[in-house]
A and B are shown apart, each in its own frame.
Chain A
């Protein structure tokens, strides 16, 4: 049965179904239950995570939802160590902006065990984390740092854009035997969509062609997929049919789908909320420039945040995050580009 639920509920459902299926799945993080389970006098499961994503799991799975002190390097490291010994931990790094205090455990330990130990390590840990701007949370709680994780060999990085994708990709992440960084855009938690009640797994490295079109290829990451869809609707009114590709996972990246699309449209715009130096837009632009050069009929363009921290005031944050109008303007320019002006 398919029904309409939110991105938040879809993630909660994925966790619950996997915890039901596999007793080795444990959840840990700051305030993942948040309450009497850890000494506070009131409700046991008071928060269920800062934005309520893990609510209800504590009661259903006794002993398998662990609150932590604010010690990211310790508990992220613990999740990683436990993964090498047979557990399948899903640890929450509350905001991706906090990666600084635990990055070593992720990129020097988890990511490298298998390679450094000559293939004799399996580290099936999932680190769920919130990213993205739009909630006026300002510079240290709003970044899109998935490019940094994408850069690290040994990690897999997932950026679901819809409730359907969030549930299926998280189920895959938990079943995956490699370390996975599961990136949830905090402004998507209330987005609703059709989601099957049954368990299902969306494979990694398989992009979703969200919209077919023959004029321009738009590759969009995470929350930008929905914004690109808005732009595409407006562009259709001007006679420009955009094809929208959602990679779903930035590592592994479905290169073939992107290249196939550009071979057909000849024009590419990449929409990435992450700041422009070394982000997914530059990564994908380089891929296409190298491997589909002959198909290109116009320069590749990107729509990204500016090279600044995330500003606080709404007047500035609204300028910071790519919106549908900017995408429309950029796609039009690319669609209309001719070599001699």
Chain B
């Protein structure tokens, strides 16, 4: 049931779609690179877990989703948020702990969420997302919207009981749920080749009664195609799918991680596998987009991120009056 898809040109994306795909990935990369820099100054509180390098996964999957759908993410959630359309400036403000943040400074990087955009949040609990997505998928099924739920989780969470239970439940209840295991090779310092007993995370799919697919996470088009199939199947009532996306995170587990447990795979990845470079090469090579169109997006993103940081730093922090609010709808 597991197969590795060869990368293909996405037939269903026109030049606008391709530009949008690039924009999403470039925004994520720009955002994460900048947070990496700013975090080093000490101004950002708490922990951040950066998604740089993994952009093709978020973009490739989420571009298929619409207002009927929900996603849940991990502690490494900025990429999924940006791909889902959560406002970049309010995201930055949230990471800086400001009142203007998307969670009014009450959640921070690990709990960034925007339910109005069907984004159930980054999650501080490994494996917290998959059960929630069973729920959003159940709601879509009961309400008959045709919507799907997508649970992003890492190789670490792939071993968590909640994830395994959620996959079984999704099959037993025949839910429109897609489980996307982003295997970046490490759960903190622990390599997934050791911690996952099977050869591939996707090999477990058969054990849970659903199809399993492995895709190259550096290839937007491969992710996009596999996700498209799975999502279409789910919308049509065909049940859940497990997609294992193999990729590499460019930064540490969290900012501040010296990464002495790693080899030189990041340098190699940046050099020859990078998803943005590959995307650019393909779409310009096929003539679908021009370099200058893509450069324009690069500039756009740089400006957006600059503004986001400047505005975040200037924004007020929540006050004592905010401490006690929004625990309940009413008490």
Contacts and interface: CB of A to CB of B under 8 A. Distances in A.
Contact of A116 (B121, B138, B330): B121
B160 to A, nearest CB: 9
Given A117-B121, A153-B327, A104 B105 contact: no
A160 interface: no
A67 B23 CA distance: 44
A105 interface: yes
Interface in B139-155: 139-140, 142-143, 149
Given A75-B169, A77-B162, A82 B136 contact: yes
A85 B128 contact: no
Interface string A84-127: 11110100000000000100110011001111111111100000
Contacts of A325: none
A116 B106 contact: yes
Interface stretch (B29-37, B112-120, B222-230): B112-120
Contacts of A109: 123, 125, 128, 132
A125 to B, nearest CB: 9
Given A77-B132, A81-B138, 5 more contacts: A84-B135, A109-B132, A117-B115, A156-B331, A178-B331
A26 B111 CA distance: 28
A299 interface: no
Contacts of B101: 118
A84 B136 contact: yes
B109 to A, nearest CB: 11
A71 interface: yes
Interface of B: 70, 72, 101-107, 111, 113-116, 120-121, 123-125, 128, 130-136, 138-140, 142-143, 149, 161-162, 165-166, 168-169, 172-173, 325-331
Contact of B131 (A63, A87, A105, A112): A105
B132 A81 contact: yes
B254 to A, nearest CB: 18
23 contacts: A64-B142, A68-B169, A71-B166, A71-B169, A73-B162, A77-B132, A78-B131, A78-B166, A81-B136, A81-B139, A82-B139, A84-B115, A84-B132, A84-B136, A86-B143, A105-B128, A105-B131, A109-B123, A116-B113, A118-B103, A119-B104, A177-B329, A177-B330
A77 B131 contact: yes
B103 A82 contact: no
A108 B128 contact: yes
A252 interface: yes
B162 A104 contact: yes
Contacts of A176: 329
Contact of B139 (A63, A87, A105, A121): A87
A261 B309 CA distance: 56
A148 interface: no
A334 interface: no
A178 B139 contact: no
Contacts of A252: 331
B314 to A, nearest CB: 19
A80 interface: yes
Nearest to A68: B169
B106 A78 contact: no
Scoring B72, B103, B132, B166 by chain A CB atoms within 10 A of each residue's CB, the highest score goes to B132
Contact of A117 (B72, B107, B165): B107
